[in-house]
């Protein structure tokens, strides 16, 4: 009986620690951000939705296109949008710099 209490206490304590460590580790969920803020145009599969394609998105699964763009260019475009394309909104106000940087490997992963 007593050991059961100890075990459940330990469980509670570890759940608490896990919760806190998530906050402190500043875990960025690129998957969730993508689903919420990017998939609308870029599609769950990275190829672009019909709306996105109308707006001029590129196919993220296209290896040649990926190779033609640097990580810095991605960060810059996600932050500032494209001044020549009104349909590409800047995300600099909506996402932190860390979140934007975290989106780059997620975008790259579509072409792997
Ligand atoms: C309203 C539609 C829309 C949404 C939402 C959107 N994008 Fe885009 N995105 C575009 C368009 C259009 C382009 C093509 C811009 C161009 O090259 O003119 C683009 C281009 C890009 C590029 C290529 C940039 C480059 O330098 O070639 C990346 C990377 C990208 N988007 C990532 C994201 C991420 C990450 C999100 C979510 C945080 C996102 N996009 C949300 C429309 C969108």
Half-sphere exposure at residue 66, Cβ-oriented, CA atoms within 13 angstroms: 16
Give the distance (Å) from ligand 1 centre to CA of residue 67. 16
Q: Which residues have CB under 6 Å of ligand 1?
A: 33, 37-38, 40-42, 52, 55-58, 69, 73-74, 77-78, 82, 85, 87-89, 91, 103, 107
Give the distance (Å) from ligand 1 centre to CA of residue 50. 14
* Helix (H/G/I), strand (E/B), else coil: 81: coil
Percent of the chain with pLDDT strictly greater than 90: 68
Instruction: Please indicate, yes or no, if residue 42 is contained in any of the structural domains.
Output: yes
CATH code at 42?
1.10.760.10
- Report which of 101, 105, 95, 110 is spatially closest to residue 36, judged by C-alpha positions: 95
Instruction: Please indicate, yes or no, if residue 4 is contained in any of the structural domains.
Output: no
Query: Where in the sequence is the domain holding 67, given as residue range(s)?
Result: 29-109
Residues 6+ away with beta carbon under 8 Å from 33: 95, 99, 102, 103
Half-sphere exposure at residue 43, Cβ-oriented, CA atoms within 13 angstroms: 18
* pLDDT recorded at residue 22: 46
Number of domains in the chain: 1
* pLDDT recorded at residue 90: 95
Instruction: Please indicate, yes or no, if residue 54 is contained in any of the structural domains.
Output: yes
Q: Are 56 and 88 in contact (CB under 8 A)?
A: yes
Low-confidence spans in the chain with pLDDT less than 70: 1, 6-26
* pLDDT recorded at residue 4: 72
* pLDDT recorded at residue 89: 87
Instruction: Please indicate, yes or no, if residue 71 is contained in any of the structural domains.
Output: yes
């Amino acid at each position: 009986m007593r050991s059961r209490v100890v075990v459940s206490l330990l469980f509670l304590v570890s759940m608490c620690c896990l919760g806190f460590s998530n906050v402190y580790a500043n875990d960025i969920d690129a998957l969730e951000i993508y689903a919420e803020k990017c998939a609308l145009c870029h599609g769950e599969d990275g190829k672009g939705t019909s709306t996105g394609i109308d707006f001029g998105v590129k196919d993220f699964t296209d290896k040649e296109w990926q190779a033609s763009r640097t990580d810095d260019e991605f960060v810059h475009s996600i932050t500032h949008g494209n001044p020549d394309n009104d349909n590409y909104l800047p995300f600099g106000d909506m996402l932190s710099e860390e979140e934007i940087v975290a989106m780059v490997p997620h975008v790259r992963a579509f072409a792997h």
